[in-house]
Amino acid sequence: MADLVIKNVRQNAGASVNVAIVDGKIASVGDHVANAREMIDGGGAIMIAGLVEAHTHLDKTLLGMPWYRNDVGPRLIDKIENERVQKRALGIDPVRQSARQVVLSISKGTTHIRSHVDVDTECGLAGIEGVMATRERYKGAIDVEIVAFPQSGMLVRPGTVELMKAALEMGAEVVGGLDPSSMDRDPKGHLDVVFGLAERFGRPVDIHLHEPGELGAFSVELIIERTKSLSMQGKVTISHAFCLGMPDQDYVARLIDDLAAAQVHIMTSGPASRPVPPVKRLQEAGIVVCAGTDGMRDTWGPYGNADMLERAMLVGLRNNFRRDDEVERALDTCTFGGARVMDLQGYGLDVGCKADFVLVSGEILAEAIVTRAPRQLVVKNGRVVARDGKALIEAE
């Protein structure tokens, strides 16, 4: 007896099948209709693997709070310093705010999130504690992985390294970093700390790299060197990597070869305002590319809605993807790419995989992506967690 059978669904827009779930896993896929405690008619909807939000900032969204009037200056440091002040002034509660975004993500079909969470000498570990509380509260409905993220720099703010250690001891799984040259103005020192923590705690690394052009490329080279010397192939992600969108194509080609050889992953949000890593070239070189909303509705900017199907569309638009197979590549960054970066076990739609999936309306995948098709049903660990675009669990 199956726990749940979803009848008449089309995996990745293929032929109609019935999917049976037992103990939170996909037990069978085919014509046969198993006896089940619960039966749901999929009505010919497309079934895709659960969406993976591989880069966001759950601790500091302003979702559900009064509109924040953004008068912030244009530089990165303006946004960072303003945010530190506003966290206190606006009363941004990491527990409440992360819960709101998590519930929104569940409603949109996201089953896994990697969240960078601020660690600095002003907020201390409040963000980490808040997101850990939310993770505990919603476990079963969504999986959340936490990156200890030194948003305000590490070496420029004494005491931050100790807080990073404490965050990793407390439950953050990944070591974060930020612009080694332009933030700490000490690329070697910054990366020595990041990779030193990774080695000491045996954790993966995910570094925000906004640095443009050749400065960013220099940081990429340093990251590759450390990845290889510590045998961390497959465990290092560079988020944003705007420098891979720089005009010097010969230099970019060399970097892509070196990133592929070191198995360093790349995360893109497909931003409209910056050069972006070329997703297709990276994938064709064998580099795993994942995608994320990044910060949404926060003091940095008003945009974002946690919809990873929309993110796939934005990645597609930004990469000039027009062919169906290209648009599907963009979706891959929001599903399997993210799953590989987060090293998710049992991810996918095959028999034996965890029953984490989404039913979306539409004829084919490309159509579902460009229309940001309604999410009919979201299943996590074999249980229905959202229906018709609404999560069955609420925030406050």
- DSSP codes of every residue in 251-293: HHHHHHHHHHHTT-EEEE---SSS----HHHHHHTT--EEE--
Closer to Zn ion by CB, 13 or 154: give it. Answer: 154
Closer to Zn ion by CB, 206 or 332: give it. Answer: 206
Closer to Zn ion by CB, 225 or 310: give it. Answer: 310
240-250 as b/e: b if 16+ CB within 10 A? bbbbbbbeeee
Instruction: Tell me the closest approach of the beta carbon of residue 239 to Zn ion, in angstroms.
Output: 6
Instruction: Tell me the closest approach of the beta carbon of residue 208 to Zn ion, in angstroms.
Output: 5
Of 373, 280, 292, nearest to 328 by C-alpha is 280
Instruction: Tell me the closest approach of the beta carbon of residue 346 to Zn ion, in angstroms.
Output: 27
Interaxial angle between packed helices 187-201 and 160-170, expressed in degrees from 0 to 180 and rounded to the nearest 10? 20
The three state secondary structure string of 172-212 is CCEEEEECCCCCCCCHHHHHHHHHHHHHHHCCCEEEEECCC
Choice from 118, 143, 184, 294 touching Zn ion (CB under 5 A): 294
Tokens in use for 277?
Answer: 């890593």
Which range of residues in 44-52, 62-70, 216-224, 293-301 is near Zn ion by CB under 5 A?
293-301
Closer to Zn ion by CB, 51 or 117: give it. Answer: 117
Instruction: Tell me the closest approach of the beta carbon of residue 224 to Zn ion, in angstroms.
Output: 21
Instruction: Tell me the closest approach of the beta carbon of residue 159 to Zn ion, in angstroms.
Output: 22
**Residues 322 and 280 sit within 8 Å (Cβ to Cβ):** no
Of 162, 70, 58, nearest to 115 by C-alpha is 58
Closer to Zn ion by CB, 2 or 341: give it. Answer: 341
- Residue 3 near Zn ion by CB under 5 A: no
Instruction: Tell me the closest approach of the beta carbon of residue 13 to Zn ion, in angstroms.
Output: 32
Instruction: Tell me the closest approach of the beta carbon of residue 178 to Zn ion, in angstroms.
Output: 9
Q: What three-state secondary structure class fits 64?
A: coil
**Residues 365 and 325 sit within 8 Å (Cβ to Cβ):** no
Q: Which residue has the CB atom at the shortest distance from Zn ion?
A: 294
Closer to Zn ion by CB, 177 or 316: give it. Answer: 177
Which range of residues in 222-230, 288-296, 359-367, 369-377 is near Zn ion by CB under 5 A?
288-296
Instruction: Tell me the closest approach of the beta carbon of residue 116 to Zn ion, in angstroms.
Output: 5
Closer to Zn ion by CB, 145 or 294: give it. Answer: 294
**Residues 169 and 161 sit within 8 Å (Cβ to Cβ):** no
**Residues 290 and 237 sit within 8 Å (Cβ to Cβ):** yes
Which range of residues in 195-203, 292-300, 321-329, 334-342 is near Zn ion by CB under 5 A?
292-300
* DSSP element (H, E) containing 137: helix 126-137
Please tell me the count of residues contacting Zn ion according to CB under 5 A.
Answer: 1
Which range of residues in 169-177, 199-207, 289-297, 313-321 is near Zn ion by CB under 5 A?
289-297
Residues at the contact surface with Zn ion, assessed by CB under 5 A:
294
